[in-house]
Chains A and B, each alone.
Chain A
Amino acid sequence: MSSVVHLANNYIYIASFTLFLIGFSILLLNSNLIKKIIGMNIMDTSVFLLFISQGYIKGRKAPILEGGGSVNPAEYVNPVPSALILTGIVVAVSVTAFLLALTVKLYNLYGTVDMDEIIEIRRSVDGNS
Chain B
Amino acid sequence: MIEDNDIILKQAARVLTPFILIYGIYITFHGHLTPGGGFSGGTVIASSLILNRISSGNRGSGPEIDRMMGIASIALVCYGLIKAMGTFFPDFTHRVLPRGIPGDLLSGGAILPLNIAVGFVVACVMYIFFCLIGEEA
User: A and B touching (C-beta < 8 Å)?
Assistant: yes
A: which residues have CB within 8 A of B? 62, 64-65, 68, 86, 89-90, 97, 100-101, 104, 107-108
B: which residues have CB within 8 A of A? 33-35, 39, 101-103, 129, 132-133, 136-137
Q: What is the predominant secondary structure among interface residues of chain B facing chain A?
A: loop
- Shortest B45–chain A CB gap in Å is 15
| In contact, A65 and B35 (Cβ under 8 angstroms) | no
Collect the chain A residues with CB atoms within 8 Å of residue B136's CB: 104, 108
Report the Cα distance A90→B136, complex, angstroms: 24
Q: A64-B35, A68-B102, A100-B129 are in contact. List 11 more A-B contacts (CB 8 A).
A: A64-B33, A64-B34, A65-B102, A90-B39, A97-B133, A100-B133, A101-B132, A101-B133, A104-B136, A104-B137, A108-B137
Report the Cα distance A100→B129, complex, angstroms: 9
Report the Cα distance A76→B134, complex, angstroms: 42
Residue of A nearest to B136 (CB): A104
Q: Which of A64, A86, A97 has the most CB of B within 10 A?
A: A97
